[in-house]
Structure 1
Amino acid sequence: MIGFVGRDSAPERYGRLPVQRDDLGPARRLFEHTGGHGDFGTVAGVAAPGFAAYARVLHPASLDEEPVRWSAVAAAHGRAVTPGTRWHELIGLDRNYTNASDYGVPGVWDEHPGEGPTPPGVARSLIPVLTRHTATPDRCWFGLWHGYGRWEFDGVPTFATPGREEVLLAGPLTDVTTPTQMEEFAELPDLWWPDDLAWCVGGDVDLVSTYIGGTRELIADLLAEPDIEAYPVGPDDTVD
């Protein structure tokens, strides 16, 4: 959530993740290792370039607040999901939903996928898979766009990603979901990466998908995980 009036000063911890106020070295090391930031509006621009393979993880729609896969929505609309499918096209609306006097399919879906960084339910499904593909799951780094929530991050150092300025957080991978457990309006971090730089997870306030770069083995595991709806993409593909 954004646009709060009278925002609070920056917390010492975001959930259980300490806010880093001194050293942005881990962020510099990530982009030095991956060869830059990637181009705005591309998969590598949301996650990071330089990985062997990438996946797009779809944020679920919902029915009565329960998650619904895009494939189920596609079937109800007589369409199919591909790696590049855009949500508004899948349901037959324009990009900003301005031609929607009504939406949803009774008994199938009644709410759009959540825009923003990785939803908590998706994050919980990602954590075990990501953990298997890093030697440092207890030492991870996270980028949080400073425009989220009710906190004012003025005075906290930030690092740049395409189109955003990010606050650096630290902690074990398992703590990435704690902000939404502790704060009503909190978002999860946009960027996640382990200290060994084995992979990078990327999201954004304007997206309904999360993008992940890593080894081919990691991406194969993500694509095979039954609780995750994911598709292979390339680093230069346009994001949704």
Structure 2
Amino acid sequence: MNPSQLEARLNAAADGTWAEMVGTDWEFYARILHPAHDTLHGDRTVSWQSIADTRNIRTISDRSWFEVSGTRLHQGEKGEQWDAEPTVGASGNSIIPDLMTTLRKIEGSKAYLGEFDGAESSDEQRATEAPNILVSHRRYFISEMTLEQLDQTVQNEDRWGFSYVFWASSGDWCINADIDLPSTIIGCTSSVGNLLLANDRLEVVRISPDHPVRA
């Protein structure tokens, strides 16, 4: 799937929906929830579901972090089980290593990486000089690379503040690590989705593509 093909699927999605993040027509859509952390007890990860259970919340697929935890992001708040809230975007994203481990099990050696570095999306001069794509009203500048290069780039902790959209040239998956979300969004084939669900180090919740994005 080349950038033009992904762009067509993005443009076909309704504004403000999960499908707008990764495109239409995937067999499987999910949020991979970024865990909270209990740094007082060995930096233990704390799942959203375990937090929801303490508040008698049964389903979390479409719920925001505030609805699950009762606390708002970026307010310096703490919960009973955790003292560090989930990260947002790609920077310091603790689920990325386990996600990439799963993706490397899939055949295919090439991928595309779109990077949003915090610059204004109306950067018209750069947009005429480099391949780019609009995702949820942000302009991402695109590079083609191997999966190994992609792995190194998205796990580079020196690149703080970045949002990434990356997808397999084979068309098996597309991932959005948006700087405003405490979850990583994926659209993929059913076989890739099953691999993600089988990875017990990831908290994967299925979502409906036409539902509104929730932080």
TM-score after normalising by structure 1: 0.73
Aligned-partner SS, 1:140: strand
Aligned residue in 1 for 2:26: 51
- The aligned length equals 205
Percentage identity across aligned positions?
24
In the TM superposition, 1:1-240 aligns within 5 A as: 26-32=2-8, 34=9, 36=11, 38-64=13-39, 65-93=43-71, 102-105=77-80, 108-117=81-90, 119-133=92-106, 135-136=107-108, 138-147=109-118, 155=126, 156-157=129-130, 158-179=132-153, 182=156, 184-186=158-160, 190-240=164-214
Aligned residue in 2 for 1:11: none
Between the aligned partners of 2:143 and 2:200, the Cα distance in structure 1 is 30
Report the AA paired with residue 79 of structure 1. Answer: I
1:194-232 deviations in Å (ceiling 9; x for gaps): 111111111211111111111122212212210110111
Over the aligned positions, Cα root-mean-square deviation in angstroms equals 2.9
1:88-140 deviations in Å (ceiling 9; x for gaps): 111223x5676x8x5221xx21011112237543111112322333x32x211
Q: Is the 8 A contact 1:115 1:207 kept in 2?
A: yes
List runs of 5+ in structure 1 lacking aligned partners: 1-24
Report the AA paired with residue 84 of structure 2. Answer: E
Q: Which has the higher helix share?
A: 2
Q: Is the 8 A contact 2:100 2:151 kept in 1?
A: no
Aligned-partner SS, 1:223: helix
Between the aligned partners of 2:194 and 2:135, the Cα distance in structure 1 is 27
Report the AA paired with residue 69 of structure 2. Answer: I
After TM superposition, which residue ranges in structure 1, 4 or more long, deviate above 4 angstroms? Answer: 95-98, 180-183
Report the AA paired with residue 198 of structure 1. Answer: D
Between the aligned partners of 2:70 and 2:10, the Cα distance in structure 1 is 38
List runs of 5+ in structure 2 lacking aligned partners: none
Report the AA paired with residue 221 of structure 1. Answer: L
Between the aligned partners of 1:181 and 1:57, the Cα distance in structure 2 is 16
